[in-house]
Every structure is written in structure tokens, then in C-alpha cells.
Structure 1
Amino acid sequence: MKKRPLIGLTLDAEPAGGWSKYPWYALRQNYTEAVNSLGGLAVALPHDAALAEEYLDRLDGLIVTGGAFDVDPALYGETERHQTVELKADRTTAELALLQGALRRNMPVLGICGGQQLMAVALGGTLHQHIPDAIPDALEHEQKTSHYEPGHEVKILAGTKLYDIVGPVMKANTSHHQAVRAPGRSVVNALAPDGVIEGIEDPTRKFCIGVQWHPEYFVDAGDKALYEAFLGACHD
């Protein structure tokens, strides 16, 4: 029986208060269920940048998850911060250490939503800090309906690895107020109908794909195919 690849997933974090009087981590169950249901073995990664390399020594693949926060604009060279931007500095520092370490190792990486945005920044790209102010006539990218339902279609660009995996079009959920502006050393692999970048990849690496939507909900058949391709790369 083939050994399950060990997949690290980054956690969200909140300060003391609310659910607990102590600082706490959180991760939606469907993140781990998506990995485990398709033959992986999911483990959660705490925010300790100093231990990033030791975690990576044990992992076969990395998933950088999404969350209700933003990448610090200073990390992509901007001095002004939009009023809607919310930071989680410790999380970003830890995720960036893990992501950069994984890229150096050519370890398979999947970036989801904010994880895709951090991937773009790690590869020299930049972000739109707030879509409604940056892109005229943009779609509603923060859907009010269940994330188990699609928010809009996404065009997958021919000639990309993502196209080879999922085909020319997908239905995607949508929950973001920022988006990739310039992909840096990555290439764009998916676009929303309004032109907003919905995915990036680095074709020079074994598997380095980021998507703006949340494939762990399995809204579209392509979501499962994406996870299967990622886990397949982690086996190699």
C-alpha cells in the first residue's frame, strides 16, 4: 500500500478572548478532510517561523490556507495601506518562512485564497489592496451565499498546468477583497469574467499553484482534480 504523503496546512490564529481566554489556532475541517479523503495525511502547522525548516524536513507538501486577513503591503513595496487591510503579522511571518523554504526545496505547494496572494508576493508580485477601489465595475468577490455554492465562473488559461488539470472553465466560490495585481515570477493561470486574476503558478517548479477560490469545498469537479494532482506530485 502506497504511503500517504504528509501535507502541512497553515493555521489561522486569534488572540486571547472570544472562544478562549488564551490565544488559539483554528482551521476549518474541510481543509483536512479534502486532503485525507484523497489519500493524503494532513497535519496542522503552528506559527513558529524559526521551526519552518524542521517542519519542512518532515513534510511532502505544503498548503497555505486562506483567512480573513491580508498580506502586509510593505512586503510588496507599498508604503500606503488601504483602510480595509487587516494584518496578522505572526501568521504571515510563519507562512512566508514555510512557503519560501518549500519553494527552495521544490516541494509541492498549493496556495488557497490568501495563500495564493502570499505566493504571488513571495514570487515577486504585488496585490490590489481592495478590489472595489482598484478595479472599476468588478464583480462581487465576497459572495453572501454558502461557499458550497459557486459565486462565478473562472476561465482557465490554455498552456498552463492548471488547464491541464481542470480544463478550460470552472465554477468557483469567492471570498476575497484583495487580488493579485502583478504575478511577479509566476504566470497567471485563471481569470474571473471581470479580469481579476484568480490563479497563478510557477511553471519552473514541480507543483506550485495558487487559486483565489476555496477548492476544499469541492464546488466543481476541477477542485477534486486539483487536489489529486497536488497529492500526486507529493508522492513523486
Structure 2
Amino acid sequence: MKKPLIGITADSEENGGGYSALPWYALRHNYAGVIVRAGGVPVILPHEPETVPDLLDRIDGLMITGGAFDVDPALFGASSRHETVTLKARRTAFELAITRGALERDMPVLGICGGEQLLAVALGGTLIQHIPDSVPDALAHEQPNPRTEAGHTVALTPGSLLARIAGQDTIPVNSAHHQAVEAVPWTLVVNAVAPDGVIEGIEDPSRRFCIGVQWHPEYSISPADDALFRAFVEAARS
């Protein structure tokens, strides 16, 4: 059986620095490695909006990754922007376009960290712009320990697709975000919540496979992380 082709959105630096003085794309190895281990073929997607229809004709599933930037608050109706918000307008424009296109085709979609936040916005949700200013007694969602370790746990919503994939009610997760999903339309399911009440996962039960998680399962810190990628790739196979 042919292995499904999974499109993975890349990060970018438009002003260069580090790798090159010119603009460049980047992606951590583990984003691609987990797709290979789950039985898929990863392909990195550059931010060229005009290629979106052709890309969607070729890929079988879409993974939206995270990065050190935020979704523009104007895109979810906010009247102001928190001082901590950092934008990458070209990346966000591309990711919104390809995500909306994938959703229209009912293509399997997996959003990770900032990718979950973008998926929520594409589906009509809103975001908390800075957790420390909005959530009393919030956990350290920018965990001080390495990302290869758990920062806290999340409770999975009974009956949700994510809970069925994980096979348990609570899982350990790593945490690297200052924003989070604030609210989603009634058509979506909040499938994971942190002990401080912060939304950590969403899904759309009306679609073949549409899940967003706030943590970074590509680090494979629990069996539930690997199970999520296997389920995603399997959905892209059909």
C-alpha cells in the first residue's frame, strides 16, 4: 500500500540571521521523524500561497507546526494586540490558506502548539493572547525543564477521538506556549484541558480527522504521543 504524503509547514525567518543572512526555512528533525515512524512520507511546505491548490492536490494529510510567533489577533476579532505578540505575516497567511483548503477537502489535519491555535482560528475560535495576564494561578506553560520531559498533565475528554487514541484519561505533556485557545464554536470539542483550566486540545468530530494539541507530541514523551501520529497517518492513508 502506498504510504501517505504528509505536508508539514515550516518555520521561517524573513530577515535572515543564524543559518543564513538571507531569508530561510527551518524545521526540527523530529517533526519529520515521527511521520516516518508512523508510516508516512513527510514533505516540508514553503510559504508560497499561490501553490496551495497544487500542494493540496498532492498531499494526503496536513500537519501545522509551532514556532516562536503568534497568530495575528485581528484574525480572531481582537481589537488590540498584547505587547508580547510576535507576528510572521507571510507564514500565517500561507498556513491559514492551506489549512482552510484542507478543511474544505476534509483532508486529515493535525495542528501542533501554534498550529493548534491557528487551526482553532481557522475553525472560528478565539485565543488568549498571553496566559499569565489572563489565567489566575496559571501553570508554567513555558516550562523551565527540557522539552523532552513533561511539564504538566492534561485531562482528556471522555469519548473524544483524542481520548480514544490515547486509551487513557490523563497524559503527561510538554509545554512551550504563552498563548492558548480561549473559546471554540459549539461544533468543536475541547478534548484536553490542563489542571489550571487552559484548553490544551481541540477536535472537529464532523471531519475525518481534525485534531489540534497545544503540546509537542513530536518529542514522543508518552505512548499517547506516538499513538496520535499513527492515527493521523492512518487517516491520511484512507
Tell me the TM-score range normalised by the shorter chain: over 0.9
Asked if 1:37 is matched to 2:25, the reply is no
User: Residue 189 of structure 2 aligns to which amino acid in structure 1?
Assistant: V
User: Which residue in the other structure is 2:4 paired with?
Assistant: 5
Determine what percentage of the aligned residue pairs are the same residue.
59
What TM-score, normalized by structure 1, do the two folds share? 0.98
Separation in 1, partners of 2:21, 2:195? 44
Separation in 2, partners of 1:228, 1:18? 34
User: Which residue in the other structure is 1:23 paired with?
Assistant: 23
User: Which residue in the other structure is 2:143 paired with?
Assistant: 143
Q: Name which of structure 1's ranges 225-234 and 182-191 shifts more when overlaid on structure 2.
A: 182-191
User: Which residue in the other structure is 2:212 paired with?
Assistant: 210
Separation in 1, partners of 2:45, 2:188? 25
Separation in 2, partners of 1:87, 1:123? 20
Asked if 1:56 is matched to 2:56, the reply is yes
User: Which residue in the other structure is 2:199 paired with?
Assistant: 197
Asked if 1:225 is matched to 2:232, the reply is no
Displacement of 1:18 after TM fit? 2.8
User: Residue 173 of structure 1 aligns to which amino acid in structure 2?
Assistant: N
Q: Deviations over 1:88-136 (max 9, x none)?
A: 0000000001100000000000000000000100010000000000001
What is the DSSP-based 3-state SS (H/G/I as helix, E as strand, rest coil) of the residue aligned with 1:225?
helix
Separation in 2, partners of 1:9, 1:21? 24
Retained in 2: the 8 A contact 1:181–1:197? yes
User: Residue 179 of structure 2 aligns to which amino acid in structure 1?
Assistant: Q
Displacement of 1:24 after TM fit? 0.3
Asked if 1:168 is matched to 2:169, the reply is yes
CA RMSD of aligned residues (A): 0.7
Retained in 2: the 8 A contact 1:139–1:194? yes
Structure 2: gaps of 5 or more residues? none
User: Residue 156 of structure 1 aligns to which amino acid in structure 2?
Assistant: L
Q: Deviations over 1:169-220 (max 9, x none)?
A: 1100000000000012422000000000000000000000000000000001
User: Which residue in the other structure is 1:183 paired with?
Assistant: 184
What TM-score, normalized by structure 2, do the two folds share? 0.97
User: Which residue in the other structure is 2:81 paired with?
Assistant: 81
Separation in 2, partners of 1:217, 1:18? 24
Separation in 2, partners of 1:133, 1:50? 38
Separation in 1, partners of 2:153, 2:16? 39
Separation in 1, partners of 2:88, 2:191? 28
